[in-house]
Amino acid sequence: MFKIAVLVSGNGTNLQAIIDHYLNNPDIKISLVISNKADAYALKRASLANIPTMVISKKDFPNQSDEILKQVKANNIDLIVLAGYLSILSGSIINEYKNKIINIHPSLIPAFCGPGMYGHHVHEAVIKSGVRYSGCTVHFVNGGVDSGPIILQQAVDVFYTDTPDSVAAKILVYEHKLLVKTIDLIANNKVIVHDNNRVEIKK
């Protein structure tokens, strides 16, 4: 059994996509959902699916990343999935779960990423820039912000009639698909990170 923990902060639509995909999967299980916010609707989604939940906030746990590490190790987690998680992991968890933490970002990294680039801020910057394409990226998490090895990306067209909301809606469809595809690949040992941080996807 390949066990995953999903970290969330908000509504949890990406979490819902993961739940729906693995609900009756005998080989891959969502063992734990952790939020940094007690009022995150994602926690309700997890509870409705009978998935154990925890709230680990900086207010209650100054060493937030260390507490998350403690909990994922206690639950024998194989992969940590950041699905709209708006807090930065740091410290021992990055090393102990090297290439075992993935994040979904709503742009084509390295464009529109880094500190301050999250959620709607990304799509507003995309529209303001006038680029013709945006998209989403699933990458491994390292010590930086949106700087880990890129696993999968999906581009979408950006038209002059688009708004931040319409771009967000187009990208969200692919976020759901890319996340579960990445989890499947990793669970089946098809993702290899080479020394130069380039990712190989095995056939």
Where in the sequence numbering do the catalytic residues fall? 105
3-state SS class at 63: coil
For residues 85, 137, 179, 201, the Cα torsion angle rounded to the nearest 10 degrees is -130
* Distances 28 to 49, 79, 152, 157 between C-alpha atoms, Å: 15, 10, 20, 33
Structure tokens at 115: 């500190």
Give the number of C-alpha atoms closer than 13 A to the C-alpha of residue 124, restricted to the C-beta side: 6
Query: Which segments within the chain are labelled E, that is strand?
Result: 2-8, 28-35, 53-55, 79-82, 101-105, 133-140, 150-157, 191-193, 199-201
| CA–CA distance, 27 with 106 (Å, rounded to integer) | 28
| CA–CA distance, 186 with 80 (Å, rounded to integer) | 11
Residue 13 dihedral angles phi and psi, to the nearest 5°: -70, -35
Which amino acid, one-letter code, is at 190?
A: K
